[in-house]
Amino acid sequence: MLPNSIKLIVDGNCSEVERAVKHIRRIGLNKVIERVETTEDNIVYSETTHEDFANEITGRMITGVKRYGKSFFLELEGKGKLPVLHFGMTGMLQVKGEKAMYYKETPRSAPSDWPPRFMKFILHLRDRSTQETAEIAFMDARRLGRIRLRDSPATEAPISELGFDPILCMPSLEVFEALVKKRACPMKALLLDQSFSAGVVIFEDEILYHARVHPKQRCNTLTTTQIGDLHRCTKFVCETAVSVDADDTKFPEDWLFKHRWGKGKKTKAEPLKLPSGQLATIQWVTVGGRTSAYVAELQQLSIQAPVPLSKQRPTHSSSLDGNSESESDLPALTDSDSEILPSLSKKRVSIIIIHSLMQSSKPIS
């Protein structure tokens, strides 16, 4: 029987993908891809085939791994395209031969045989000097992830279309406030949209909870104080998650995340308490097609001025990969947005992303 394996189940935010990147660096950096074992999947393999994917990267050494938002890519020696990976809702990396590790604690199953179930590819790696070998598999049960090949990942879609990364390039408060106030959608919908911020998904409810903002509160009705709290809490929540390697057992006990999963279930978790010591009332509401948890006593929906219909703009998907299970009512960027935020305008976003990726060359410890 094979040893247990380390499994990284990724539901799509920067901390989870950052953790996966760390493990690829640890296992695969400076190793040659001797062979790529693949399975056919015309959905997960986007704009390429499993054969072309294998042929493109076989024989090349992994020289680096970079993340931006929920996407990451391998830097390989030599000429050729680079693999760009997106986990979707059920993507998973598995490194052969290590103890199992999950993002969200779930009942453990018996160690599975290798290759793992729902495998899309396995990288067979070898160190040229030590001859040490390793294997890394990419799995996706629901086929919501994406595997692509790109000449220049940072300047091509999907990465070039993303908004700011809260870990790599959090905008100043002034810029953040200008972006938020230009929107008329609920704040929850804004946080879900990757063209606004890349990699916040899963933690949007946590951010709103710490900032004391109701999920349905419309962006153009927020006060300057509320926007300042949202800016601070976005950075705090994401950095905290990365600092504990996206391990939910290490999240602070006063986080909503530790208590929100009990909807409709009996749970042994200690109830969330208000600052006064009284029990908090966790309620749920649907915003942007997603269920949102919030604390009724702390996140109250304030009276809002109606948004004129003439100022409402078309809606678009919150997923730049086209695999989201919901829609966001966030309006697209306009020319006026670029005037407010030239550093994140469509013409210059690739420059910002490249700079951020260069700054992230060293793994976050």
- Reduced to 3 states, what is the DSSP secondary structure of residue 345? coil
Structure tokens belonging to residue 194: 């990757």
User: Is a pLDDT exceeding 60 seen at residue 341?
Assistant: no
Q: Tell me the torsion sign for CA atoms 57, 59, 65, 66.
A: negative
Contact assessment for residue 164 and residue 287, using Cβ atoms and an 8 Å cutoff: no
Tell me, what's the pLDDT at 334? Answer: 40
pLDDT tens digits along 70-94:
899 999 999 999 999 998 888 888 8
User: Is a pLDDT exceeding 70 seen at residue 358?
Assistant: no
Tell me, what's the pLDDT at 107? Answer: 44
pTM for the whole structure: 0.78
Out of 39-43, 187-191, 302-306, least confident range: 302-306
* pLDDT category of residue 328 using cuts at 50, 70 and 90: very low
Every domain of the chain with CATH number 3.20.190.10 lies at 6-161
Distance separating alpha carbons of residues 63 and 332, to the nearest angstrom: 36
Evaluate whether the domain defined by 6-161 bears CATH number 1.10.645.10: no
Counting residues of the chain whose pLDDT is more than 70, the rounded percentage is 73
Say how many CA atoms lie within 13 Å of 204 toward its Cβ.
26
Distance separating alpha carbons of residues 195 and 189, to the nearest angstrom: 11
Between 346 and 240, the higher pLDDT residue = 240
**Positions of E strands within 141-281:** 146-150
Q: Which of these, 254, 292, 269, 306, lies nearest to 105 by C-alpha position?
A: 269
As assigned by CATH, the class of the 173-346 domain is mainly alpha
Give the DSSP H or E segment for 224: helix 224-243
Every domain of the chain with CATH number 1.10.8.50 lies at 173-346
Distance separating alpha carbons of residues 16 and 10, to the nearest angstrom: 6
Determine the average pLDDT of the residues in 193-221.
94
